[in-house]
Amino acid sequence: MDYVNLGRTGLKVSPLCLGTMNFGPQTAEKDSHAIMDKALELGINFFDTANIYGAWGDGGYPGRTEDIIGRWFAQGGGRRDKIVLATKVYNVMGEWPNERGLSARHIKLACEASLKRLQTDHIDLYQMHHVDRSAPWEEVWQAMEQLIHEGKILYVGSSNFAGWHIVQANETAKRRPLMGLVSEQSKYSLITRAIEMEVVPACIQYGVGIIPWSPLESGLLGGVLKKQAKEGRRAGERQQERIEKLRPQLEQYEAFCDELGEEPAAVALAWMLHQPGITAPIIGPRTMEQLTGASLRAAELKLDADALQKLDEIWPGFKTAPEHYAW
């Protein structure tokens, strides 16, 4: 595994990030632990979670996934020391009005709760899960700075921020002075490429590493047409609507992957790793097979200029703003 720097930091992470959102709701704890062990064995040292994960499904509650990870750490064997741990704050964690958002109070209490669930004394990358337009940046950075001084977090990242949010956050941090945001999690795939207009340029300018989520677009880029033909079943109503809308492009894409002799999921992830500003796309396996299949191939798959051009023809991207929409 060739490790890369997380944005402009000196921190080394694997070029694939293990997403844990399925741990609890769709993947049993025993299987989740086995997947994390296997990921570590394969050299994946970057694990991402969030305090809200695990809130869905039977027996779900906010923090369930962090609890699962914490019990994995508790097994010992250097598990905690070997990984770069990322979690998030922002979402609703209770019924009271201050159990959400990015107020200094909620950031402090949410961090302490995450540390307890995760059974660790620090979080390597603490990410704002969404922008909180009601919380001033001065307040946000006051809270983050205090957690850094206490040794409870090391780096701060964002998720689902617009380009100008990244600018605001880092310019405010610079005045304290703090390092500011070192990473941004955005939805990004061959299909969803809008961040190329402003988020990507902002991240590159500030040395903020991009951690794409949903790089396979909920399975659409994982060979969905062939799987449906083989299994003889349709997706849910909303997903099937997307498949039908994108069918011509999906057919071209899967045919091109056949020409390359590669699995569609591997091609989609490899394309991502060729894009500027990318640190590590998030892979969110539900099963061991999903972890050890196409995802690992993507880390070593090199696409030449012709292949990258063909993918851009099938899935057109965006120019940097304002050139995309103005002369």
The active-site residue out of 3, 53, 188, 206 is 53
Tell me whether residue 188 is one of the annotated catalytic residues.
no
Amino acid at 144: M
3-state SS track over the chain: CCCEECCCCCCEECCCEEECCCECCCECHHHHHHHHHHHHHCCCCEEECCCCCCCCCCCCCCCHHHHHHHHHHCCCCCHHHHCEEEEEECCCCCCCCCCCCCCHHHHHHHHHHHHHHHCCCCEEEEEECCCCCCCCHHHHHHHHHHHHHCCCEEEEEEECCCHHHHHHHHHHHHCCCCCCEEEEEEECCCCCCHHHCCHHHHHHHHCCEEEEECCCCCCCCCCHHHHHHHHCCCCCHHHHHHHHHHHHHHHHHHHHHHHHCCCHHHHHHHHHHCCCCECCCEECCCCHHHHHCHHHHHHHCCCCHHHHHHHHHHCCCCCCCCCCCCC
- Cβ(288)–Cβ(35) below 8 Å: yes
**Which residues, in sequence order, are CB contacts of 70 under 8 Å at separation 6+?**
117, 118, 119, 120
Active site residues: 53
